[in-house]
Structure 1
Amino acid sequence: MDDRQQKEPERYKVEFASGTAASVQKRRSFRDRDRNDIEVDLPGWPAGKPFKVRGFLGKVGRHALNVVTALLMLPLHILADALGGYSAPDKRGPLDDRANEVDDFPVMWADKGEAARTLPWQLDPARRPLHVVTELEVDEADGLVRITTYKDTARGNRFIEWGGGEKVPGSEAVLWSMPLKEIAGAEIKRFSMAESDFTISFRDGSWVRLETSAHCAEEVVSLLTPGP
């Protein structure tokens, strides 16, 4: 039995990131280098709701909703703390790039023919079915990075993160793969909840912004960052 058979590559649940600033919260855009929208040009992608930055009233509404949500969740945090569970809310780091984190929120930045445009639409939580999970794996034995998918028996609504059930038999598939040598690097994005966002940059200059858990983001970035 070779090393690859002994240890399969770790898989990390990922999806396109979502904005956290009130102007773009829960939203994302897909841009070329001139900041034009490219969603309609992505082959095979289902139609999505057009991206729009919220105006003043929209931002006020998001702030109000966030405050109400925090107040409603407070008793649960207190209870979890009393039972010995971790109850501290996620914190967002400092703003690094206002143009791409407040005034807009691109999660794909690529001109025609560039690598970032090849990523699968299933990474978009606004497009894929609720029970579909997408994962990233870095296979150093094959020299490939892959996006895989499966159906989760327990992923029934948007309030269940990463499912929690079992894989539907026969639902696993590879959606995308690329040689590791085509990846220039990866970087944690501090302006995200618990620093769970990260970017993958390709050698042609295109990039994507993905989201996972904070711990997984650190591991993925480490795996995709070239050594000295």
Structure 2
Amino acid sequence: MIEEPRRHRVEFASGTAASVAKRRSFRDLERNDIEPDLPDWPSRPAFRVRGFFGRLGQYALTVVIRLLLLPLYIIADALGSPVSPEKRGKLEERENEIDDFPVMWAGEGQTARTLPWQLDPSRRSWRTVTEFEVAEPDGLVRIWSFEDTVQGSRHLSWGGGGKVPGSEALLWTLPRSEIVGAEIKRFSLDESDFRVSFRDGSWVRLTSSPDGAQRMVALLGQGMPESDPAPALP
């Protein structure tokens, strides 16, 4: 039993394979691009899977970053606070994790299309935070946003971390009964991605902290009717 609403920071997931790293797509049931059809969403360049040279560049970037961070790992270990690089689990769905990276899978009029664009980190201010809330008393799930006081830039931040007064806004609500399942996606950094499936067959792939993802899956998996399983996934 959930005694009070619980919130966790979430956003649309981003690819981790070189072909789709830091990218995401939005698809209908025939895998067509639906971004232009999502009402009031800020436009972005069309999704593309990286070719050979693009993937090669991603591999090179990963190697350089790990070499630069190696001294930090050594120092942290020497100080008694071991830090290990983020690890990615086993590939589960090549068609959705390497050949493409849909974070929204929905036919026309289906639930997943109603999620707010603010969940997309490439469309919002880097100071905007989105949180997913599961509330037991009224049987609703909600998505909130607020502006963070954090200082710095999208790539490097320091200080702050509070909530700008008056910036909180309710973006989305849905009856808890419309969610039929949630699962961790192993092919993500430290298993921080999770998929939420809706009763009409649509789904979204979100990401949080590893702990937040585990908690959200546990919360969204509570109270599901055994006689009403989640629809089969593509």
On the 8 A contact 2:152/2:158 being kept in 1, the answer is no
Q: How far, CA to CA, are the matches of 1:12 and 1:159 in structure 2? A: 21
1:13 aligns with 2:17: no
CA contact (8 A) 2:147 2:167 kept: yes
Q: Of the candidates 157, 174, 195, which is equivalent to residue 153 of structure 2?
A: 157
1:158 to partner: Cα distance: 2.2
Displacement, 1:160? 4.9
1:102 aligned partner: 98
The aligned counterpart of 2:35 is 39
**1:225 shift after superposition:** 1.0
TM-score for the superposition, normalised by structure 2: 0.91
Q: How many residues of Structure 1 are paired with residues of Structure 2 in the alignment? A: 224
**Which consecutive unaligned segments of at least 5 residues does structure 2 have?**
227-234
Q: Cα–Cα, structure 1 residues 143 and 86, in superposed 2: closer, same or farther, change >3 Å?
A: farther
Aligned to 2:136: 140
Q: Does 1:120 align with 2:116?
A: yes
Instruction: Work out whether residues 130 and 156 of structure 1, in 8 Å CA contact, stay in contact via their aligned partners in 2.
Output: no
The secondary structure found in structure 2 opposite 1:108 is: strand
Change in 2 beyond 3 A, CA 1:96/1:206: same
User: Any conservation in 2 of the 1:184–1:226 contact (CA below 8 Å)?
Assistant: no
Provide the alpha-carbon RMSD of the alignment.
Answer: 1.8
Percentage identity across aligned positions? 64
Q: Indicate the larger mover: 94-103 or 73-82.
A: 73-82
Q: 1:199 to 1:58 in 2, by over 3 A?
A: same
Moved over 4 A (4+): 160-164
Q: Give the TM-score taking structure 1 as reference length.
A: 0.94
Equivalent in the alignment of 1:85: 81
Unaligned runs of 5+ in 1: none
Kindly state the Cα deviation for residue 161 of structure 1 after the two structures are TM-superposed: 7.6
Q: Which residue of 1 aligns with 2:232?
A: none
CA gap 1:86/1:161 in 2 versus in 1, 3 angstroms: farther
User: What amino acid is the match of 1:190?
Assistant: R
CA-CA distance at 1:83 after TM superposition: 1.8
Q: Which amino acid aligns with 2:134?
A: V
